[in-house]
Amino acid sequence: MRTLPKRLKKGDTVGIVAPSSPPDLENLKQALPFLEEMGLKVKMGKSVEAKQGYLAGTDEERLADLHAMFEDPEIAGIICAGGGFGAARITDQIDFAMIKENPKVFWGYSDITFLHTAIGQYAELVTFHGPMLASDVGKEEFHERSGRMFGQLFAPFELHYDEGISTLTPVSRGVAQGELVGGNLGLLRSSIGTKFEIDTKDKILLIEDIEKQPYEIDGMLNQLRMARKFEGLAGVVIGDFKNCEPEDPEKSLNLDQVFDHYFKDLGIPVVKGFKIGHCEPHFSVPLGVMARLDATEMTLTVLPGVE
């Protein structure tokens, strides 16, 4: 079992990091009152305002920020400012033993998926797949439900997703229990063949992505299939695939056909339609805890992510 980080409480300080691309600083500024309303203080990472092309500072700067926040005893949790690209560039240099000794809340998604997988497998820590400050919280369209999902960091409670939140459609029926893992499909695919390759055996796999053509999603799923990541899988939670419609529908399979091809005959529960990913509202979940997917009742239940 992975370690549960300690819950946050009012008065705690959270560290803000940018392990990937430079965040929109105006959006980041707009997001800070949200944290303050939850009773949190903020410590900004040194590389958050740095820029090196499409990266928020050099690899060394971004890595140093991540390490500093985990090592700092005054920091109770770490929230990513945004995603983009670049987290995987520093992952093989992370001090996972240090993180294991200093377990704390770590929250983000999209490009941060690579870090979730690595930290989960090498530091054995539960982490959180949820909206980020500059990318989501600081925007006008940030949904009240997305904001409420941060409440799971302050008290251990079971998360329950049903069709009251969004329409859910079974690709394959059944009921499964297993550890919830995954995140952005592109980042999961890029882990294949590395020491950070995602372990899916007996797990419930979450996938989401944004602005990909169906053939690109097809290619990613095919690579996971050929890497035998669907063998021994317990179930699949298909999150939001924003702007993934074909440019020319007459010359393309649609996403439903792609999902059916890979998942319909696996003999495990697979459900699509979850508002998890690049969407509003964004239903946040802990990764590395036990979950139950019921493709008959159309529910997903996830155990608490903090202690």
Active site residues: 110, 208, 278
Could you tell me if 111 and 87 are in contact, meaning their C-beta atoms sit under 8 angstroms apart? yes
Q: Is the dihedral of CA 256, 259, 261, 267 positive or negative?
A: negative
Could you tell me if 293 and 176 are in contact, meaning their C-beta atoms sit under 8 angstroms apart? yes
DSSP lists the bridge partners of residue 129 as 108, 285
Q: How far is CA 280 from CA 31, 165, 168, in A?
A: 16, 11, 16
Q: How far is CA 55 from CA 18, 51, 106, 130, 272, in A?
A: 9, 6, 20, 21, 33
d(CA 271, CA 283): 15
DSSP 53-83: TTBSS-HHHHHHHHHHHHH-TTEEEEEES--
Q: How many CB atoms lie within 10 A of CB 181?
A: 23
**Three-state secondary structure call for residue 163:** coil
DSSP 8-class letter at 22: P
